[in-house]
């Protein structure tokens, strides 16, 4: 038998700046450090990554198993199964009262692929997309990779880190090609009210609405779809958060028909289609999991109220209570204005993993994001450890 030849892989590629300049996802660095600590025997409470701790509902798993057993393992239509697109259209009709043609929907391999398609048809070199600062960490990277410019619009914690209409109007210029909204939001967990959505619709520019946390709302406030107020919009949504299907990687984009045709051709070339058996699971998620979703939302709300109470009892001022998603942004500038340093200090000394606000842009610096997608017992222990850490820091 021949000896294997050892291959030395030295990079000789002159990589483009837009690839080299993609920033690290800091929440992943925190999680990876926490996992390293756990391998060394530490007990870490995870309040950093926004991933449901619930198992995927049984009906979804069964539907995927049946699809696999039935040989539904081949390519689907590039836009996705018609049955799934019809189910998505029915979902938007039932929940928002909007009539969507299934031919205006493309099923994607998660919402990241959906974002890539949207920005590919919307952005020309140098075009600007308005986003809040702070914002979901990956938005600027998607925009820059499509040769666009993320136009940061400062958002204040007193407004729940959502846009003020006046600030948007002041930021619009000849290069503006769209405004990206996220409600309920990551990182703040706040919801844009009806007046805010109407104001955004009246700006006269395309709106890109990230609706991935829709359905995760508490306290009576319901998130509304931008499609209720304008047709000049792209909706990005999926199954990861509401249905506890992060690893399934299935999402979708809804858009104007002429743009959808172009996105379809991009999908054909770059992604072909979303996984076939996963799409059958997604249909079951929409049609058979109402009780599962109700119980998950009820549980998240209990955790939300508990964590809010604990954080406020520690003296933190949270001007706008989050009523969606599963996040709370907390101003910790008085403890340490360097959120990256503080997050690692909390991890190493209190063994609680949290996300530094700088991950979400300069507007998030000095804040720490807490995620309550964990059991209430673990959250309680995390809060206990945080109290101890704060006490020691105050006494040092």
What is the pairing mode between strands 233-238 and 251-254?
antiparallel
- 216 and 121 assigned to the same domain: yes
- Whole-number pLDDT of residue 12: 67
Query: pLDDT at residue 1 above 60?
Result: no
List helix spans (H) across the chain.
17-20, 26-39, 58-69, 82-96, 111-122, 139-145, 165-171, 194-201, 257-270, 276-288, 290-313, 339-350, 376-395
In a domain, 8, yes or no: no
Rounded distance between C-alpha atoms, residue 67 and residue 92, angstroms: 25
Rounded distance between C-alpha atoms, residue 92 and residue 101, angstroms: 11
- 128 and 182 assigned to the same domain: yes
Query: pLDDT at residue 6 above 80?
Result: no
Q: How far is CA 353 from CA 33, 52, 106, in A?
A: 9, 16, 36
Question: pLDDT tens across 185-195, in order?
Answer: 999 999 999 99
Q: How far is CA 141 from CA 9, 229, 267, in A?
A: 27, 28, 20
Other Cβ atoms within 10 Å of 170 Cβ, number:
10
- 245 and 154 assigned to the same domain: yes
Question: How is residue 218 annotated by DSSP?
Answer: -
The SS3 call for residue 107 is strand
Q: How far is CA 54 from CA 14, 121, 182, 192, 300, in A?
A: 44, 35, 23, 27, 11
Question: pLDDT tens across 76-124, in order?
Answer: 999 999 999 999 999 999 999 999 999 999 999 999 999 999 999 999 9
Rounded distance between C-alpha atoms, residue 227 and residue 207, angstroms: 9
CA angle 365, 369, 373 (to 5 degrees): 165
- 80 and 206 assigned to the same domain: yes
- Whole-number pLDDT of residue 4: 65
Question: pLDDT tens across 160-204, in order?
Answer: 999 999 999 999 999 999 999 999 999 999 999 999 999 999 999
Name the band, by pLDDT with cuts 50, 70 and 90, for residue 11: low
Name the band, by pLDDT with cuts 50, 70 and 90, for residue 9: low
- 37 and 94 assigned to the same domain: no
Question: pLDDT tens across 332-341, in order?
Answer: 999 999 999 9
CATH number of 367's domain: 3.90.1150.10
- 324 and 213 assigned to the same domain: no
Q: Of residues 366 and 4, which shows the higher confidence score?
A: 366
Task: Name the residue among 78, 114, 335 with its Cα closest to residue 239.
Answer: 114
Measured in degrees and rounded to the nearest 5, phi and psi for residue 47 equal -125, 30
By residue range, what is the domain housing residue 342? 17-55+291-395
In a domain, 188, yes or no: yes
Q: How many domains does the chain have?
A: 2
Chain position carrying tokens 């829709």: 214
Q: How far is CA 299 from CA 217, 296, 334, in A?
A: 12, 5, 32
- 166 and 308 assigned to the same domain: no
Domain end point (choices 288, 307, 322): 288
Question: pLDDT tens across 348-377, in order?
Answer: 999 999 999 999 999 999 999 999 999 999
- 297 and 192 assigned to the same domain: no
In a domain, 345, yes or no: yes
Task: Name the residue among 342, 266, 283, 224 with its Cα closest to residue 84.
Answer: 283
- Whole-number pLDDT of residue 2: 59
Tell me if 226 sits within 8 A of 207, measured CB to CB. yes
Rounded distance between C-alpha atoms, residue 2 and residue 337, angstroms: 59
- Whole-number pLDDT of residue 311: 98
In a domain, 3, yes or no: no
Question: pLDDT tens across 13-39, in order?
Answer: 787 887 877 777 788 899 999 999 999
Task: Name the residue among 223, 149, 141 with its Cα closest to residue 181.
Answer: 223
Other Cβ atoms within 10 Å of 40 Cβ, number:
7
- 42 and 71 assigned to the same domain: no
- Whole-number pLDDT of residue 190: 96
- Whole-number pLDDT of residue 26: 84
Rg over alpha carbons for the chain, rounded to the nearest Å, is: 22
- Whole-number pLDDT of residue 295: 98
């Amino acid at each position: 038998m021949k000896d294997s030849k050892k291959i030395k892989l030295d990079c000789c590629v002159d990589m483009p700046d837009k690839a080299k300049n993609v920033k690290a996802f800091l929440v992943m660095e925190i999680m990876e450090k926490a996992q390293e600590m756990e391998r060394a025997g530490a007990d870490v409470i995870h309040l950093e990554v926004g991933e449901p701790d619930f198992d995927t509902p049984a009906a979804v798993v069964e539907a995927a198993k049946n699809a696999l057993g039935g040989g539904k393992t081949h390519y689907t239509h590039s836009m996705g199964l018609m049955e799934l697109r019809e189910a998505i259209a029915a979902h938007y009709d039932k929940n928002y009262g909007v009539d969507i043609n299934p031919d205006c929907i493309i099923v994607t391999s998660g919402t990241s692929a959906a974002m890539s398609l949207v920005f590919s048809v919307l952005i020309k070199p140098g075009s600007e997309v308005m986003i809040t600062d702070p914002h979901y960490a990956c938005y600027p990277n998607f925009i820059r990779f499509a040769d666009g410019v993320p136009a940061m619009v400062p958002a204040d914690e007193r407004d729940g880190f959502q846009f003020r209409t006046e600030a948007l109007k002041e930021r619009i210029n000849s290069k503006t090609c769209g405004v990206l909204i996220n409600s309920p939001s990551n990182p703040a967990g706040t919801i844009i009210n009806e007046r805010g959505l109407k104001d955004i619709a009246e700006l006269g520019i395309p709106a890109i609405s990230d609706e991935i946390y829709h359905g995760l709302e508490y306290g009576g406030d319901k998130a509304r779809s931008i499609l209720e107020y304008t047709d000049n919009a792209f909706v990005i949504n999926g199954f990861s958060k509401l249905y506890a299907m992060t690893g399934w990687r299935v999402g979708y984009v809804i858009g104007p028909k002429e743009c959808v045709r172009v996105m379809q051709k991009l999908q054909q070339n770059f992604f072909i289609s979303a996984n076939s058996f996963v799409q059958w699971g997604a249909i079951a998620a929409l049609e058979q999991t109402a009780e599962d979703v109700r119980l998950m939302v009820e549980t998240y709300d209990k955790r939300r109220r508990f964590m809010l109470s604990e954080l406020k009892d520690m003296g933190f001022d949270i001007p706008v209570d989050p009523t969606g998603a599963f996040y709370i942004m907390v101003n910790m500038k008085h403890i340490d204005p360097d959120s990256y340093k503080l997050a690692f200090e909390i991890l190493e000394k209190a063994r609680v993993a949290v996300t530094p606000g700088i991950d979400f842009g300069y507007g998030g610096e000095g804040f720490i994001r807490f995620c309550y997608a964990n059991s209430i017992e673990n959250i309680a222990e995390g809060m206990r450890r945080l109290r101890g850490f704060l006490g020691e820091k105050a006494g040092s």
